[in-house]
Structure 1
């Protein structure tokens, strides 16, 4: 959904009402479901959605102030608050973070869906991205990417995962024990199999012992 939506709104420079409804459906699926919001965004006239989104997206520059200005412009639409507006901006520019509950819970004292709360979240996520880029010597991290990483980490924690893709048991689905040092499955030691030569040698020895015993009985 997001790749296609991003490509479409960048090419047009605006958002359609149907796309706005889809974003709202996505947002409600990730947080508290509030059906009245879906009805409100659906009540926006199509031309109003196109106009507001075009003005909002055109305001986006590199600075935090420009992003906040764009957020406020998009929030003029019915049913669109700061959180939904941030989702629209993230669809337009993935480096802009979505105001997710998970990110707010990690970087804020409490959940507040206000413009000041989003500004605070944006600043902290940008600082986090700058720290990661400095540590890695790259420019790979953005505020948006940090938010998505936080969301993934929180979802993993919610389902009892210590790290993404690994469970607390430090084992695997084969039942093979795993060493604590490196997590490599221990291999069961195999005893060396006897060769045919060994079998023949053993047989000759037994035959000699039987013949010797027979000779002793006769004598």
Structure 2
């Protein structure tokens, strides 16, 4: 169906849709892109996300499934806008607190990755491991460089291994798996 469109129509429609999104009108941009035969809101969101990831989340099923309160998935504009509003709000919250996942596209990707980790039962880093990594980064930033690429670690500044940190490494129960409270878990029952 998409191949039926002349290149000029696709270019003109895309440019108009991107302009609308960059002006802050997501609804109009998705609607404009959806004028192309064979392009619905989900496909339009993928196209728009490629050109405006700071404004548009892609409507991937796994990402949508990770957002509570959306109801049964529907591939229409109203449903997409409900999903996008929640993702955009979360991105704004994360940006305000200085998080790295701070655009609608990054939030949508994080939701997708989280769903895939659940689907394939992949372990997640524990909070303790993340804190240890952060501490190491802070220590290396605070230590002045002497120009040597390899440094001996000073025993007084090196983090000590305790039985507790050893247990964290070996204990699979420390992964941060969370129970799904969305349609996915209810559909499996």
Structure 2 length-normalised TM: 0.62
What residue is the counterpart of 1:97 in the other structure? Answer: 57
Q: Where does the alignment leave 5 or more consecutive residues of structure 1 unmatched?
A: 1-39, 165-177, 186-219
Q: Where does the alignment leave 5 or more consecutive residues of structure 2 unmatched?
A: 126-164, 172-189
Flag as ranges the 4+ runs of structure 1 deviating above 4 A: none
* Structure 1 residues 128-168: Cα deviation after superposition (integer angstroms, max 9, x where no partner): 1122233x33575011110011111111111111327xxxx
What residue is the counterpart of 2:166 in the other structure? Answer: 179
Secondary structure at the counterpart of residue 59 of structure 1? helix
Q: Residue 110 of structure 1 is aligned with which of 60, 63, 72? A: 72
8 Å CA contact 1:153–1:163 kept in 2: the answer is: no
Q: Is 1:42 matched up with 2:3?
A: yes
What residue is the counterpart of 2:119 in the other structure? Answer: 158
Matches within 5 A, 1:24-103: 40-61=1-22, 63=24, 66-95=25-54, 96-103=56-63
8 Å CA contact 2:13–2:32 kept in 1: the answer is: yes
What residue is the counterpart of 2:160 in the other structure? Answer: none
Greater Rg by CA: 1
State how far apart, in whole Å, the 2-side matches of 1:126 and 1:93 are.
13
Where relative contact order (Cα < 8 A, 6+ residues apart) is larger, the structure is: 2
State how far apart, in whole Å, the 2-side matches of 1:98 and 1:74 are.
14
Structure 1 length-normalised TM: 0.54
Q: Aligned-pair RMSD on alpha carbons?
A: 2.4
TM-fit CA distance, 1:67: 1.2
State how far apart, in whole Å, the 1-side matches of 2:4 and 2:101 are.
39
State how far apart, in whole Å, the 1-side matches of 2:170 and 2:118 are.
24
Between Structure 1 and Structure 2, how many residues are aligned?
Answer: 130
Q: Residue 143 of structure 1 is aligned with which of 97, 104, 111? A: 104
8 Å CA contact 2:22–2:52 kept in 1: the answer is: no
